[in-house]
Structure 1
Amino acid sequence: MHYVKAKGIFTSDYGINLYRGCTHGCIYCDSRSEIYQLKHKFEDIEVKENAVELLKKELIRRKPFMVVTGAMTDPYIPIEKRLQHVRKCLELIYRYGYGFSCLTKSDLILRDLDLLKKINEKTKVVVQITLTVANDELCKKIEPNVSQTSKRVEVLERLNENNIPAVVWLSPILPYINDTEQNINSILDWCIDTNVKGVLNLDMGLSMRQGNREYFYKKLDENFPGLKEKYVEEFKDQEFIYGRNYRKLKGIIKNKCQKYKILYKQDDIFNYIHEFPCNSVQLKLI
């Protein structure tokens, strides 16, 4: 872990990244790609030491909107338990009347359930949870240092109990690993049971760009002997790949989501996440 002083806090679409790099160890992580120009070892977390201060300055001067985090780095990586940067930001978001959405694979988010409830009652919260595999043992192989699937399903249950909307990222789909009807149907059944608002699948594909491809292949050799050779033969140097039955799996998602009135189109889901409720009452306490 190392600290940097950031010049700004918001991305062009009002996203924030409190950390750069990750220790979850997910074998497929696109954030390892060279296009993101990370200047340090991926597991050496870069912490923006002045992030909370910068956020406060921005929230004071702007009209409220949905503050979103988790696009590049899961905000609830283990060091967040000690640093509590996310919690401090949530306190500001609540105080100044903004909305909040984050993408995570960690049940550490339940630590902040009290603040999420308060923000959701005042404006809006959408929690995005990634679910890739229904089996916890397989989860340990592809997402080794993060909350297992069963724990994440418990998060969805708690969110549902507290009327906090959730979106599930059913992605990425790894050919010959989690691209089975049984796996997809199991995850969808959990989504239905916990009343999720949307299921996002990003075309059922897997990013294989320079930087993350090498790490992915290394982990395939360690955990799925012989599978790397099958990938190399079938997909060559493609930067985005699809499994043999992705169209059928997309159809399963579409049909179940339509039946249970769950959002499944990418644009609809992102619009829902970023839409700030116009009828919210914001009181800025400076």
Structure 2
Amino acid sequence: MHFVDAKGILTGSGGRYGMNIYRGCSHGCIYCDSRSKCYQFTHSFEDIEVKKNAPELLEKTLKSKRKKCMIGTGSMSDPYMHCEKELQLTRKCLEIIYQNGFGVAVQTKSDLILRDIDLLDEINRSAKCVVQMTLTTYDDDLCRILEPNVCNTKRRIEVLEKMQERGIPTIVWITPILPFINDTKENVTAIMNECVRLGVKGIINFGMGLTLREGDREYYYAALDKFFPGMKERYIKRYGNDYELPSPNAKELTGLFRHICKENGIMSNPDECFGYMQKLPDKYTQMSIFDL
């Protein structure tokens, strides 16, 4: 872990803003796209870069905005990785978001988010909060291989349940689906059934497969060699160096996914899910006469 003074904290425009307090991750997911060389890490991915001035930058930035909006966090690096327990930078930023009347959409795999559930509840009451949780693998033994340094799927389901009890809307990412590993009807059905039981607002999936780029591919293949002997050769034979690796079962699984979502009134189109997360209710986005 190392600390830097960042020049800015929010990315985006037009009322769509994202925030990454950390760069890198300690969760160790074997498929993580953020390891890809295109993101130009100049340090080890596990050597977490901490933007120590993130709260100060965020407060200054939000005070300068005339119109309230949603702030997203967690798209590149999980805001609740292990160092957050001590540093509490995510919590400090959430407090600033709350104090300034903005909304937030948080994406994580960690149950550490429960530490801040009261604060997230307050944000949701005063503006809007959406909690997003990734669920890829219902089998916890397999989960420990694919996502070794973070809580298992059953615990993440408990987190979603606690958010739902508070009336905090939730979105599930059922991605990636790894060819020949978790791309089974049984796995997808089990996850989908839990989503239905919980009453999640939407489920995001990008075609029942995996994407691999330089940097990410090498790490993933090393994990395959370690945990699934012979699987790397199977991938290379079928996909070569393709960026998109759709499951052989993609058509069947996508049909199952869409059917369950439609039958239960769950958003399944990614654009619809993102649109929902990016929209702050009108009563909060209206500028007062003092903002003019």
Q: Same fold (TM over 0.5)?
A: yes
Match of 1:11, SS state, is strand
State the one-letter code of the partner of 2:11: T
Structure 2 residue aligned with 1:250: 254
Structure 1 residue aligned with 2:44: 41
Given the alignment of the two structures, is residue 125 of structure 1 paired with residue 129 of structure 2, yes or no?
Answer: yes
Match of 1:14, SS state, is strand
State the one-letter code of the partner of 1:220: L
Unaligned segments of structure 2, at least 5 residues: none
**Alignment equivalent of 2:19, drawn from 13, 16, 20:** 16
Q: Distance in 2 between matches of 1:49 and 1:217?
A: 34
Match of 1:3, SS state, is strand
Identical residues among aligned pairs (%): 51
Q: Deviations over 1:20-64 (max 9, x none)?
A: 000100000000001111110000000001110000001111121
Count of residue pairs the alignment pairs up: 284
Q: Deviations over 1:77-96 (max 9, x none)?
A: 00000000010011111111
Q: Distance in 2 between matches of 1:165 and 1:36?
A: 31
Q: Distance in 1 between matches of 2:82 and 2:244?
A: 30
Residues 109-124 of structure 1: matches in 2 within 5 Å?
A: 109-124=113-128
Structure 2 residue aligned with 1:4: 4
**Mean CA deviation greater in 273-282 or 229-238:** 273-282
Q: Deviations over 1:221-267 (max 9, x none)?
A: 11111111100111101011101010110111100000000000011
Deviation at 1:280, TM superposition (A): 2.6
Contact map agreement 1:99 1:276 (CA 8 A) in 2: yes
Deviation at 1:205, TM superposition (A): 2.1
Structure 2 residue aligned with 1:102: 106
Structure 2 residue aligned with 1:272: 276
**Alignment equivalent of 2:150, drawn from 140, 146, 152:** 146
Structure-1-length-normalised TM-score? 0.97
Structure 2 residue aligned with 1:158: 162
Q: Distance in 2 between matches of 1:282 and 1:270?
A: 21
State the one-letter code of the partner of 1:34: K
Structure 2 residue aligned with 1:25: 28
Structure 2 residue aligned with 1:197: 201
Contact map agreement 2:69 2:285 (CA 8 A) in 1: no
Structure 1: 4+ residue segments shifted above 3 A? 281-284
Q: Distance in 2 between matches of 1:3 and 1:196?
A: 36
Residues 198-213 of structure 1: matches in 2 within 5 Å?
A: 198-213=202-217
State the one-letter code of the partner of 1:5: D
Q: Distance in 2 between matches of 1:19 and 1:283?
A: 32
Structure 2 residue aligned with 1:85: 89
Contact map agreement 1:96 1:283 (CA 8 A) in 2: no
Deviation at 1:282, TM superposition (A): 8.5
CA spacing shift, 1:281–1:275, aligned 2, 3 Å: closer
State the one-letter code of the partner of 1:4: V
State the one-letter code of the partner of 1:205: G
State the one-letter code of the partner of 2:47: D
Q: Distance in 2 between matches of 1:158 and 1:282?
A: 31
State the one-letter code of the partner of 1:50: N
RMSD over aligned CA atoms reads 1.2
Unaligned segments of structure 1, at least 5 residues: none
Structure-2-length-normalised TM-score? 0.95
Deviation at 1:283, TM superposition (A): 10
Contact map agreement 1:97 1:283 (CA 8 A) in 2: no
Q: Distance in 2 between matches of 1:233 and 1:202?
A: 23
Structure 1 residue aligned with 2:57: 54
**Mean CA deviation greater in 138-147 or 273-282:** 273-282
